[in-house]
Amino acid sequence: MNAFISPCSVSRSLSSPATAAVSSRRTSFLPRANALRPRLPNITRRFSTVKASLEDDVRQDLNKLYETTPCMPIMVRLAWHDAGTYNATEKTGGANGSIRFNPEKSHGANSGLNIAMDLLQPIKDKYPNMSYADLYQLASVQAIEFSGGPKIPFRMGREDASEADCTPDGRLPDADKGMNHLRDIFYRMGFNDLEITTLSGAHTLGRAHPERSGFDGPWTKIPVVFDNSYYVEILKDEPDPDLLRLTSDLALLDSTETKALCEKYAADQDVFFEDYKVAHQKLSELGCFQ
């Protein structure tokens, strides 16, 4: 049998009797009025497929990085410090990659985050079409998923800021201050008390480093696993001497509402994960997609 199949035989075999009847009645060879119409959605679909495959490729490379270098916690801190400069009233700051520029990079609160940015640079070089802003946020959501946490909804499309968009120092929270300070900082970003309590649960990952923040130690016994143990630990009457509790962590126990939420999250990890997904997605999109 001849292996070559002509295009005509393919189109004949694919066309239904109804289509064949319609084409045999055609007298003009100008394109039908509606012939071009389906193309636009196709182009859009192809464009989203390209974006999706870029995102998938980068996620795979991030997984490879996390398998060899368990740097998941510092990626979460990097993304949070990039986004957490947002001022909802002024519409300045946010998840725009400005943290990679001085003076923002050298603000005291960002000490050590050059390590995270340096680890991500080879991935940025490999995928130049992804913005730094998207890469930092994707590295964070992928780090959380890789560590056993929830799958956080993620959208690509953040635009990179320029050096001139760096925000002034002092927009991120101080660890040795209480609830009034946390409210000043997080309300400025557009968050509420529930979201302050939920996002603080990210301290289930990682540790403090004396040379970066002056504090020392992890918040939980297994700091490479994203779970609800942060709440379990801060609620203990007798704190584990090996674990860290910042003034800002303990501030969550000062109000009846936020303490009740900590108790709920400590008792039910699924509830924590559901709330966390929503709050983290909001954090990761501050100042974007407007």
Residues 6+ apart with CB under 8 A from 199: 80, 186, 191, 276, 279, 280, 283
- For 101, other C-beta atoms within 10 Å of its C-beta total 16
Which H helix or E strand runs over 207? strand 207-208
Q: Give residue 233's identity as a one-letter amino acid code.
A: E
Using CB under 6 A, pick the residue from 248, 258, 269, 284 that binds ligand HEM.
248
Residue nearest to ligand HEM (CB): 206
* Segment contacting ligand HEM by CB under 6 A, of 40-48, 95-103, 129-137, 195-203: 195-203
DSSP 8-state class, residue 98: G
Task: Provide, rounded to whole angstroms, the least separation between the CB of residue 52 and ligand HEM.
Answer: 25
200 part of the interface to ligand HEM, by CB under 6 A: yes
- Residues in region 139-168 near ligand HEM by CB under 6 A: none
Closer to ligand HEM by CB, 35 or 228: give it: 228
Residue 219 C-beta: closest distance to ligand HEM, Å: 8
The residue range among 6-14, 21-29, 47-55, 72-80 that interacts with ligand HEM, by the rule CB under 6 A, is 72-80
Binding mask 207-246 for ligand HEM (x = CB under 6 A): xxx--xx-x------------------------------x
The torsion defined by the Cα of 269, 270, 276 and 278, in degrees rounded to 10, comes to -170
Cα–Cα distances in angstroms (integers) from residue 173 to residues 131, 160, 196, 271, in the given order: 26, 24, 11, 25
Which of the stretches 19-27, 49-57, 149-157, 199-207 binds ligand HEM when contact is defined by CB under 6 A? 199-207
* Angle 65-71-75 from CA coordinates, rounded to 5°: 100
Nearer to ligand HEM, 51 or 259 (CB): 259
Quick check: is 81 catalytic? yes
Choose one: 21-29, 41-49, 71-79, 226-234; the region binding ligand HEM (CB under 6 A): 71-79
Closest CB 206 distance from ligand HEM, rounded Å: 2
**CA 271/CA 262 separation, integer angstroms:** 11
Count CA within 13 A, CB hemisphere, residue 69. 11
| Token output for 101 | 């520029």
Query: Looking at 42-50, 55-63, 93-101, 202-210, which segment touches ligand HEM (CB under 6 A)?
Result: 202-210
Q: Nearer Cβ to ligand HEM, position 51 or 177?
A: 177
Choosing from 175, 253, 271, 278, the residue that interacts with ligand HEM (CB under 6 A) is 175
**Per-residue CA distances from 95 to 129, 130, 246 (Å):** 17, 14, 25
Contact 228, 272 (CB under 8 A): yes
In angstroms, give the least distance from the CB of 33 to ligand HEM: 53
Which x/- pattern, by CB under 6 A, does the window 75-114 give for ligand HEM?
Answer: -xx--x-------------------------------x--
Q: Which of 12, 27, 209, 230 is nearest to 111 (CA)?
A: 209
With contacts defined by CB under 6 A, how many residues of the chain interact with ligand HEM? 23
Catalytic residues: 81
